[in-house]
Amino acid sequence: MSTAMNFGTKSFRPRAPDKGSFPLDHFGECKTFKETYMRCLKNNRFDNSRCREESKEYLECRMDRQLMAKEPLEKLGFKDLVDDSQKENEAKS
């Protein structure tokens, strides 16, 4: 489909991912986090905005187990969640 050389048709150009490829989770170390996330999606009619906490936790699990390069969560688009948790910590203390 993307190799059809018709004049004028737009073809799709795949792009490499920004941060490369996830190493495979052979031992299922983050499987529980994934199950939590999938359950949250099912409960919320697959709305991504409601399950961002769970996705953040899954990525944190990956980072802890060397299955993902460690990055500050703001760079992964979780800036609002990080700010919220910081505000909660400040409010508590």
Partner 1 sequence: MLLPYLLRGCSAKYVQVALSSTRFCIGCCSIRGVATSRSHLFLRGIPQRFLNLSRGAKTHRRKQSQEDDWKKRNKTILTYIAAAGVGMIGMSYAAVPLYRLYCQATGLGGAAIAGHDTEQVETMKPIRDRVIKVTFNADTHASMQWNFRPQQSEIYVVPGETALAFYRAKNPTDKPVIGISTYNVVPFDAGQYFNKIQCFCFEEQRLNPHEEVDMPVFFYIDPEFDEDPRMARVDTITLSYTFFEAKEGQRLPIPGYS
Of residues 54 through 83, those in contact with partner 1 by CB under 8 A are 55, 58-59, 68, 74-79
Beta carbons of 30 and 22 less than 8 angstroms apart: no
Give CA separation, 20 vs 5, 16, 68, in Å. 29, 7, 10
Beta carbons of 71 and 63 less than 8 angstroms apart: yes
40 lines the binding site for partner 1 (CB under 8 A): no
Instruction: Determine which residue in the list 5, 6, 17, 70 makes contact with partner 1, applying CB under 8 A.
Output: 17
Of residues 18 through 37, those in contact with partner 1 by CB under 8 A are 18-22, 24-26, 28, 30-31, 34, 37
